[in-house]
Structure 1
Amino acid sequence: MGIQSGLTRSLLLLIPLTIAVPWSLQRHVDRPTSDQLVVQSVQLRGQGGIGFDLRQATIPVQEIRSGGPPKDGIPSLSNPTMISAAEATYLRAGDRVIGVESGGESRAYPLAILNYHEIINDRIGELPIAVTYCPLCDSAVVFDRRTPLGEREFGVSGLLYNSNVLMYDRSNMESLWSQVKGEGVSGPGAGMKLTVLPMELTTWAAWQARNPNTTVLSSETGHRRNYQGSPYTRYFKQTQLMFPVKPINNALPLKESVLGVWDDANALAIPISAFGGKSTEIEQSLGSKKLTVAFDANDQTIRVVKADAGLQWMNTFWFAWHAFRPETEIVSR
């Protein structure tokens, strides 16, 4: 079995039995119980274990779940090769990318690649960044890799909390970090906030039009993957979630795309439905701060045009945003 087919098989095994999975796959589903996961996870690497030390976890340990692939089974990328837009012949106009600008330089990171790697440790000029994407939550966030513990390189732990990827930092004392929560949840980094950087989740054509000199992640990653197809296509078409999440709120469809915006005191969800299907810009307030957001009806994308200092944002599904920030306000039509 090749690497590509192996990952696809692992992802298929994650689908709950309420979804039509062939019986031949169902009978091989073998997830650890919560108690087993706790025991496995508190083992320290120095004691011969392969898990993480969760004794000081800031999230309920019993709600941390195995995602299927083991630690680094989904390999993050570090110091990737970037190419010019003209060389990126593997991309189509409508392919989604995470776009980042810093110091006059712009880069695009296609979800077609992030589907299989989830974290890209990169550097723009002197700025070390982690471009992160969790396909289960459709959550895109870019972090500054300079943490209170020093600069870190991140990998994929193989664990989930609220159906969202738990990253880990490659250090002598590994910490787990929640992507949507944006902070450490175990180890020395527990409770420490990551700095979120401006970015947009958009299409390759739209990003190129606004950033004609952009570079883009090369598909030559050193891994054998089919970057022309996504193993999550079926999941995106269904309303069901793969893993338990709480709290659940049905004010919006669970998988409606939202732009989540927050500061130290407030949280706001701007769903696609708030734009009434029309390409337009709207101005919103969050406490005393303001931001302008643009919606493209053709691409079905939301992006921040301008924002006051102190505001941070990410793109994600509604269920994930609410699970981590249940106090959020919702912008309606």
Structure 2
Amino acid sequence: MRLILAFLCLFPLVGPAAAAAPEQWRAEWPETDFSQTTVGGWAEIISGGPGRDGIPAITGPSFLRAEDAQLEPREPVMVLQIEGRPARAYPLRYLIWHEIVNDSIGGVPIAVTYCPLCNSAMVFDRRVDGRELEFGVTGKLRNSDMIMFDRQTESWWQQAVGEAIVGELTGTELESLPAWLDSWQGFRGAFPDGFVMAQPDYGRNYGQNPYQNYDRSGQPFLYNGENPPHGIPALARVVRVGDRAWPLNRLVAEDTIEEAGVVLSLAGAQASALDTRQIADGRSIASVRVRDDEGRDVPHDVMFAFAFHAFWPEGDWMLPAPVEDEGAEMTDENTEADEG
């Protein structure tokens, strides 16, 4: 994780992580109502390094036609298609450095979010009770997951869950929209008339992974919670739908899974954004689509197992049926997929 250390050199940790408390935050967050929270204890929230807006969210991004963009074929992109509008791709080469993109499609204000430490990529509708919110990055973490904030009330939101955990809007949930991670070549093949987010005007090493070798490590970064059950490695990928999680290596082995009212299927492969120094060179990871029994896309997340266990401790683990000889302990190695 050499590049993680370099990343933290740019944004050094501020004070002891465990010493966090509202008294220390009020100067930076004068409008946040710390009397309202669902957090069990303030020590759950720690500094991730950068301060408020130290990781700058993007608002109102520019786009290129897919045919005019120059990305590597295996690069991962977040794909969103709203009915009646061309599909859009948001490359992880940008999201890994900005974590939030505030955009609008066909009158629908959206937040495209990515937390590298949890590998959680979710798209939310930014409207709450008729009010449109704009999101930024607090620079704080809970269970290693990014805490967002809205600029209208300065409430804090848990990215993986899409719920406000501190402030005026505590307990409010954002609507998750169906979106999925795919390779750039997969997006171009499916949506030749689509659009891709253009490079932001910031001095970042776009295309580089600041978390080199992270998804091959044994333990999550800045996480002190329990490891997942059933011998599942902390950084194994799982497909989360609601409060259920399917190990990605099970889907790779079975190709298609129909359970609990959803259909999980393989959709080619993409480069892992959290492996090698250059994102495009990362090992191949299976791309996934999740649909209901009528073929409609379903909101889901392909996140690390530790994060699912942290936020859904009573969640259901959708494991393969037991066999007489189970062989070796479950690993993340066979989440790798062939291209094509």
Tell me if both proteins adopt one fold, taking TM over 0.5 as the criterion. yes
Q: Tell me which residue corresponds to 1:21.
A: none
What is the letter of the counterpart of residue 204 of structure 1?
W
Q: Tell me which residue corresponds to 2:308.
A: 321
- Tell me if structure 2 keeps the 8 A contact 1:83–1:217: yes
Deviation at 1:235, TM superposition (A): 1.9
Structure 2 stretches lacking a partner, 5+ long: 271-285, 321-340
- Tell me if structure 2 keeps the 8 A contact 1:141–1:315: no
Structure 1 stretches lacking a partner, 5+ long: 1-5, 15-27
Q: Tell me which residue corresponds to 2:291.
A: 305
Question: How many angstroms apart in 2 are the aligned matches of 1:167 and 1:29?
Answer: 18
Deviation at 1:292, TM superposition (A): 1.1
Given the two structures, how large is their TM-score scaled by the length of structure 1?
A: 0.82
Given the two structures, how large is their TM-score scaled by the length of structure 2?
A: 0.81
Q: Taking CA–CA contacts closer than 8 Å with sequence separation of 6 or more, which of the two structures ends up with the larger relative contact order?
A: 2
- Tell me if structure 2 keeps the 8 A contact 1:273–1:332: no
Pairing 1:154-193 to 2, within 5 Å after superposition = 154-171=135-152, 173-193=153-173
Residues 229 and 33 of structure 1: CA distance in aligned 2, closer, same or farther (over 3 Å): closer
Deviation at 1:54, TM superposition (A): 2.5
SS at match of 1:180: coil
- Tell me if structure 1 keeps the 8 A contact 2:256–2:265: yes
Deviation at 1:143, TM superposition (A): 0.1
- Tell me if structure 1 keeps the 8 A contact 2:241–2:300: yes
Higher mean Cα deviation, 246-255 or 154-163?
Answer: 246-255
Q: Is residue 2:225 matched to residue 1:246?
A: yes
Q: Tell me which residue corresponds to 2:207.
A: 228
Q: Tell me which residue corresponds to 2:244.
A: 268
Q: Tell me which residue corresponds to 1:292.
A: 263
Deviation at 1:161, TM superposition (A): 0.6
Q: C-alpha offsets along residues 277-321 of structure 1, whole Å, 9 cap, x if unaligned?
A: 46x222111xxxx11111246441222134578964222111111
- Tell me if structure 2 keeps the 8 A contact 1:54–1:187: yes
Residues 192 and 40 of structure 1: CA distance in aligned 2, closer, same or farther (over 3 Å): same
Deviation at 1:331, TM superposition (A): 2.0
Deviation at 1:39, TM superposition (A): 2.2
2:257 aligned to which of 261, 282, 306: 282
Work out the number of aligned pairs and report it: 299
SS at match of 1:233: coil
Root-mean-square deviation (Å):
2.5
What is the letter of the counterpart of residue 313 of structure 2?
P
Deviation at 1:224, TM superposition (A): 1.3
Q: Tell me which residue corresponds to 1:96.
A: 76
Question: How many angstroms apart in 1 are the aligned matches of 2:74 and 2:297?
Answer: 31
SS at match of 1:185: strand
Deviation at 1:271, TM superposition (A): 1.5
1:35 aligned to which of 6, 11, 19: 19
What is the letter of the counterpart of residue 143 of structure 2?
N
Question: Structure 1 vs Structure 2: percent identity of aligned residues?
Answer: 35
Question: How many angstroms apart in 2 are the aligned matches of 1:29 and 1:151?
Answer: 32
Q: C-alpha offsets along residues 223-252 of structure 1, whole Å, 9 cap, x if unaligned?
A: 111112110123223122111243432421
Q: C-alpha offsets along residues 114-139 of structure 1, whole Å, 9 cap, x if unaligned?
A: 00000000001111000000000000
Question: How many angstroms apart in 1 are the aligned matches of 2:151 and 2:53?
Answer: 11
